[in-house]
């Protein structure tokens, strides 16, 4: 019996030593079946099932962000905080150790943002992504094409707006991290008006119909005249007012944001233009970026066909022969002086401009009677002179597109695409929509009996609210 035990011990010992001697044959474990990176959704269990070769005598270790979390072959990952996680899996035995490092990105569950139709909606970035770089947005699915996703304010939050109710699905991503943002757009309790709702300011430059359309009455203040302009222009039955000569302007707005639908004209502004009676007014537009309901935000110019040059207009050669000044002055300034002598028959109303020119306007050009200042100055763009003599009269030729009072009211070219807007450096901008419009007379020209080129501005409307679909005009 004793011998047997000794023998057994010897065998065990021999076996032990032979194990030692055969160390090369105990192979180190090898991990496979794991990716370098995974993306998962917050709060969702995710099981990692690695395949291990050479498991004899193996021990397992999982570390999440440097902290041991398991000693099993499989590991179930679950995190409720979106972000990036570092997971290390180690398997070891006498033969050695294998190690796999994995990045797991936890994305947020779908996020919902609610807002009203015809109203700007700020898309606040989800917390898990807001400090990341390379943020990208995609519009996945929309119930209507009447919407705009705008990167205008992207550093803080992109802007979204829709003209129709429904759920608009967007995707936001930063590298591997992705989330779905659903914008739920509901109807406002009070239906917005499709037409101009407010006139904020009105200052015509001297002109034939100044003090007449609208009518000035003794004692009227500037505020009174702005209210009279509003009385004409606001609503479905809006009619026009005159802006007088070059630079005269009106500022008005809508009770909602007109959506800048991609590839579509967005709004119409009426005047009293018709063929050979075009008195183009330049448009500036803005949206209520600071949300105070007032037009005190950055203005953007609507780039029309003649905003840089009139060379592409059909009447260019005829106007050249007529002796017109066909330059576009991008930084034009003009000052009109209040007449001091109403009995004067000549040298009645003095004007100067920043081209070094000066002169007098005849008595039929009236200075706005409610303005007490002895001069008024305007600055902006001066378009090529479009009036061409024809017999005893002049034909006021139309620019191709992009101006008020330039084509008949029912012509599609009396409508505008907000995507024509450019910033002060001439760069295209991604406006989500507009709340406010400024129109000013764009041509400085007198046309004999017809008088000065003076823009008339009337009713304005939101094409999308009216259900009018006009594809963006190219020429
Ligand atoms: Ca548009
Ligand atoms: Ca504002
Ligand atoms: Ca007109």
Which numbered ligand comes closest to the C-alpha of 265? 1
Work out the average pLDDT over 42-63.
93
Whole-number Å distance, alpha carbon 474 to ligand 2 midpoint, is: 31
Q: What is the Cα–Cα distance from 399 to 282, expressed in whole angstroms?
A: 11
Residues in the chain: 475
Task: Give backbone dihedrals phi and psi of 218, rounded to 5 degrees, phi first.
Answer: -45, 130
Q: How would you label 186-207 residue by residue, b for 16+ Cβ within 10 Å and e otherwise? A: eeeeeebbbbbbbbbebbbbbb
Per DSSP (E only), the strands in 54-165 are 59-64, 67-70, 75-77, 83-93, 96-107, 111-116, 121-122, 135-141, 147-150, 159-162
Q: Per-residue pLDDT for 11 more than 70? A: no
Q: What pLDDT shows up at residue 6?
A: 46
Q: Choose the weakest-confidence range: 122-131, 321-330, 374-383.
A: 122-131
Neighbours of ion ligand 3 (CB under 5 A): 272, 279, 405, 456
Whole-number Å distance, alpha carbon 366 to ligand 2 midpoint, is: 33
Q: Is the peptide bond before 82 cis (omega within 30 degrees of 0)?
A: no
Alpha helices for 304-400 (secondary structure H): 316-321
Sort residue 42 into left (φ over 0), alpha (ψ -120 to 50) or beta.
beta
User: Rounded to a whole number, what is the largest CA-CA distance in the chain?
Assistant: 147
Q: Which of these, 355, 365, 469, 331, lies nearest to 412 by C-alpha position?
A: 469
SS3 of residue 461 by DSSP: strand
Work out the average pLDDT over 300-327.
97
Q: How confident is the model at residue 298 (pLDDT cuts 50, 70, 90)?
A: very high
Q: Which residues have a Cβ under 8 Å from the Cβ of 221 and sit 6 or more positions away?
A: 370
SS3 of residue 30 by DSSP: strand
Side-chain-facing half-sphere of 120: CA atoms under 13 Å: 25
Q: What is the Cα–Cα distance from 173 to 137, expressed in whole angstroms?
A: 6
Q: What pLDDT shows up at residue 338?
A: 97
Work out the average pLDDT over 73-80.
94
Which numbered ligand comes closest to the C-alpha of 251? 2
Determine contact, residues 67/57, Cβ cutoff 8 Å. no
Work out the average pLDDT over 248-256.
98
Which numbered ligand comes closest to the C-alpha of 259? 1
Q: How confident is the model at residue 342 (pLDDT cuts 50, 70, 90)?
A: confident
Which numbered ligand comes closest to the C-alpha of 242? 3
Whole-number Å distance, alpha carbon 113 to ligand 1 midpoint, is: 24
Whole-number Å distance, alpha carbon 286 to ligand 2 midpoint, is: 9
User: What is the architecture, at CATH level 2, of domain 111-186?
Assistant: Sandwich (2.60)
Q: What is the Cα–Cα distance from 290 to 313, expressed in whole angstroms?
A: 38
**What residue ranges do the domains of the chain occupy?**
18-107, 111-186, 198-462
How distant is the alpha carbon of residue 262 from its chain centre? 11
Q: Which residue has the higher pLDDT, 235 or 13?
A: 235
Whole-number Å distance, alpha carbon 16 to ligand 2 midpoint, is: 86
Q: How confident is the model at residue 314 (pLDDT cuts 50, 70, 90)?
A: very high
Q: Per-residue pLDDT for 258 more than 80? A: yes
Which numbered ligand comes closest to the C-alpha of 416? 1
Q: What pLDDT shows up at residue 9?
A: 43
Whole-number Å distance, alpha carbon 334 to ligand 1 midpoint, is: 32
pLDDT, mean over the chain: 92
Quickly name the fold that domain 18-107 has.
Answer: Immunoglobulin-like (2.60.40)
Q: What is the Cα–Cα distance from 322 to 193, expressed in whole angstroms?
A: 45
Q: Per-residue pLDDT for 277 more than 60? A: yes
Q: Per-residue pLDDT for 463 more than 80? A: yes
Work out the average pLDDT over 35-46.
87
Q: Per-residue pLDDT for 331 more than 70? A: yes
SS3 of residue 443 by DSSP: coil
Q: What is the Cα–Cα distance from 472 to 267, expressed in whole angstroms?
A: 11
Percentage of the chain lying above the pLDDT 90 cut: 80
Q: What pLDDT shows up at residue 470?
A: 98
Q: What pLDDT shows up at residue 138?
A: 94
Q: Which residue has the higher pLDDT, 345 or 69?
A: 69
Whole-number Å distance, alpha carbon 207 to ligand 3 midpoint, is: 12
Q: How confident is the model at residue 345 (pLDDT cuts 50, 70, 90)?
A: confident
Q: Which residue has the higher pLDDT, 436 or 14?
A: 436
Per DSSP (E only), the strands in 228-385 are 241-242, 249-259, 267-269, 281-286, 300-302, 329-337, 349-353, 358-361, 375-382
Q: How confident is the model at residue 128 (pLDDT cuts 50, 70, 90)?
A: low
Please tell me if the domain spanning 18-107 has the same topology as the one spanning 111-186. yes
Whole-number Å distance, alpha carbon 141 to ligand 1 midpoint, is: 19
Q: What pLDDT shows up at residue 337?
A: 98
Measured CA to CA in angstroms, residue 248 lies from 244, 308, 443, 454 at distances of 6, 20, 10, 8
Q: What pLDDT shows up at residue 179?
A: 82
pLDDT tens for residues 219-233? 999 999 999 999 999
Q: What pLDDT shows up at residue 107?
A: 78
Whole-number Å distance, alpha carbon 266 to ligand 2 midpoint, is: 20
Percentage of the chain lying above the pLDDT 70 cut: 94
Whole-number Å distance, alpha carbon 75 to ligand 3 midpoint, is: 77
Q: Per-residue pLDDT for 35 more than 80? A: yes
Q: Choose the weakest-confidence range: 50-54, 288-292, 340-344, 458-462.
A: 340-344
Q: How confident is the model at residue 177 (pLDDT cuts 50, 70, 90)?
A: confident
Whole-number Å distance, alpha carbon 287 to ligand 1 midpoint, is: 14
SS3 of residue 448 by DSSP: helix
Paired tokens of 62: 């999982």
Side-chain-facing half-sphere of 300: CA atoms under 13 Å: 26
Q: Per-residue pLDDT for 15 more than 60? A: no
């Amino acid at each position: 019996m004793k011998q047997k035990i000794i023998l057994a011990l010897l065998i065990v010992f021999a076996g032990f030593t032979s194990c030692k001697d055969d160390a090369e044959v105990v192979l180190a474990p090898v991990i496979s079946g794991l990716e370098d990176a995974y993306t998962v959704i917050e709060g969702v269990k995710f099981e990692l099932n690695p395949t291990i070769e050479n498991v004899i005598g193996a021990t397992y270790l999982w570390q999440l962000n440097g902290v041991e979390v398991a000693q099993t072959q499989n590991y179930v990952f679950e995190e409720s905080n979106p972000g990036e996680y570092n997971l290390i899996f180690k398997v070891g035995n006498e033969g050695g150790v294998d190690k796999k490092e994995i990045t797991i990105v936890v994305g947020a569950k779908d996020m919902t943002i609610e807002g009203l139709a015809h109203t700007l909606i700020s898309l606040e970035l989800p917390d898990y992504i807001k400090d990341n770089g390379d943020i990208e947005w995609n519009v996945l699915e929309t119930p209507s094409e009447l919407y705009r996703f705008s990167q205008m304010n992207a550093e803080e939050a992109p802007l979204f707006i829709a003209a129709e109710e429904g759920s608009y699905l967007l995707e936001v991503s930063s590298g591997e991290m992705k989330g779905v943002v659903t914008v739920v757009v509901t109807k406002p309790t009070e239906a917005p008006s499709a037409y101009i709702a407010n006139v904020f300011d009105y200052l015509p430059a001297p002109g034939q119909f100044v003090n007449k359309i609208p009518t000035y009455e003794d004692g009227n203040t500037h505020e009174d005249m702005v209210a009279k302009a509003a009385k004409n222009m606001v609503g479905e039955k809006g009619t026009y007012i005159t802006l007088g000569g070059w630079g005269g302007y009106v500022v008005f707005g809508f009770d909602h944001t007109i959506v800048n639908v991609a590839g579509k004209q967005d709004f119409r502004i009426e005047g009293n233009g018709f063929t050979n009676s075009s008195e183009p007014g330049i448009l500036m537009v803005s949206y209520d970026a600071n949300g105070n309901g007032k037009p005190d935000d950055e203005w953007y110019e609507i780039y029309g066909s003649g905003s840089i040059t009139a060379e592409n207009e059909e009447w260019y050669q005829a106007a050249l022969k007529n002796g017109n000044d066909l330059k576009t002055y991008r930084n034009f300034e003009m000052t009109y002086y209040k007449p001091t002598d109403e009995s004067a028959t000549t040298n009645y109303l003095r004007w100067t401009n920043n081209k070094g020119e000066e002169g007098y306007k005849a008595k039929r050009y009236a200075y706005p009677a409610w303005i007490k200042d002895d001069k008024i100055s305007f600055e902006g763009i001066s378009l090529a002179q479009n009036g061409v003599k024809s017999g005893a009269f002049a034909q006021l030729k139309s620019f191709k597109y992009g101006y008020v009072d330039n084509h008949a009211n029912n012509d599609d070219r009396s409508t505008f695409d907000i995507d024509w807007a450019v910033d002060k450096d001439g760069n295209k901008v991604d406006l989500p929509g507009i709340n406010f419009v400024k129109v000013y007379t764009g041509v400085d020209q007198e046309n004999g009996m017809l008088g000065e080129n003076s823009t008339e501005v009337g009713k304005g409307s939101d094409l999308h609210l009216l259900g009018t679909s006009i594809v963006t005009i190219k020429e």
